[in-house]
Amino acid sequence: MTTVVRRAARWNRPLMFLVSVMAVLAVVTVVGILVDPRVLTGAPIWLKPFKFAVSFVLYGATLAWMLSLLPRRSRAVERAAVVIVAVAVVENAVIVGQVIRGQTSHFNDTTPLNTALFAAMGAAIMVLFFAHLVIGIVVLIQRIPDRVAATAVGWGLGLSLLGMLAAVPMALPMQDPGIEGIGGAHSVGVPDGGPGLPLVGWSTTGGDLRIGHFVGLHALQALPILAILLSRFATRLDERTRARLLGVAGVAYGVLTVLLTWQALREQPLLRPDAVTLAAVAALVVATATATGLVLARRRRPELALAA
């Protein structure tokens, strides 16, 4: 276990430093949830910083692992990683600071200070987006030797950018709830802070843009996990077939992210889709199953692969 931790610490020092800091913050926020009775927008006031801390732990660790797969060091990647760390620190510092003040960090235009803090967070996330994009471009240029890993990393990085973009509608004028001091919302068709699913808080009475945002962001973990599962349990499949299956999964995952965002914009709760949404999901399932079947039908048999 100690050896694994030491090896992980060398993946990318700035990102692993971020992971350590966010892990400590996650513990602090759990204590806050347990001892601080305050509620903000219908949830324990420390729940948001807890979710952000955990998210950055996963993001930092996964990104650091991906960068360890690169065949050679890249100065652009190292600088982009430092930028991501700085942005994450700023973002979480604002969120925690606002919790201490008893204020919401997002969509808060109640005072000039709150407006400035939310604007700073928005700017910071745009910087993170472009730093993440730089890393994605370098990964594509350098080409990770392991074809399956390269496919998983490429799709994971790209789809997580899509997940970031899925959050953009939250701050657009159409999401202005018409309430003084509030300049956006993650719920669609209902006020923020209403009935929601446990822990995540996604609205159960209206649309919620956080769903597509969440799903897209975590493609960064989902695609590599699928690659690992294929490598471990689908050993009869050749490398090309596994990479193609990951490509099918990546396309399906991207379509699902868009579909969930589209569902939210149509004011539908996740668990109460209408007939049109169900038809779209069914079409996605059929298309994915068909593409998977075609890939498997074209796979190279082990004996042929050895002969080649």
Taking the CA atoms of 88, 93, 94 and 99 in sequence, report the sign of the dihedral they define.
positive
Return the sign of the alpha-carbon dihedral for residues 290, 295, 298, 304. negative
197: CB partners within 8 A, 6+ apart: 204, 270, 271
Among left, alpha and beta (phi > 0; psi -120 to 50; other), residue 43 is beta
Q: Supply the pLDDT for residue 306.
A: 45
In 3D, which of 189, 187, 212 has the Cα closest to residue 42? 187
Q: What is the share, in percent, of the chain residues with pLDDT greater than 90? A: 73
Confidence label for 183 from pLDDT (cuts 50, 70 and 90):
confident
**208: Cα within 13 Å, side-chain hemisphere:** 22
Give pLDDT, residue 307. 47
Tally the residues of the chain: 308
CB atoms within 10 A of CB 85: 23
Are 83 and 127 a contacting pair, CB within 8 Å?
yes
Q: Provide the pLDDT for residue 136.
A: 93
Share of the chain above pLDDT 70, in %: 94
- Contact criterion met (CB below 8 Å) for 7 and 31: no
- 301 sits in which H/E element: none
pLDDT at 237 over 60: yes
Residue 173 — pLDDT band, cuts 50, 70, 90? confident
Please tell me the predicted confidence (pLDDT) of residue 194. Answer: 87
Strands 187-188 and 207-208 come out as antiparallel
Residues whose CB falls within 8 Å of the CB of residue 94, separated by 6 or more in sequence, listed in order: 105, 117, 120, 121
DSSP secondary structure string, 146-166? SHHHHHHHHHHHHHHHHHHHT
- Each residue of 106-146: pLDDT tens digit? 888 889 999 999 999 999 999 999 999 999 999 989 888 88
pLDDT tens string 7-28: 766 788 999 999 999 999 999 9
Helix H or strand E segment including 256: helix 239-265
pLDDT at 171 over 90: no
- According to the model, what pLDDT value does residue 304 have? 47
What SS3 class is residue 57?
helix
Predicted confidence at residue 182, as pLDDT, reads 81
Tell which residue, 259, 66, 244, 95, has the closest CA to residue 158: 66
Tell me the mean pLDDT in the region 206-235: 94
> CA quadruple 159, 91, 97, 166: dihedral positive or negative?
negative
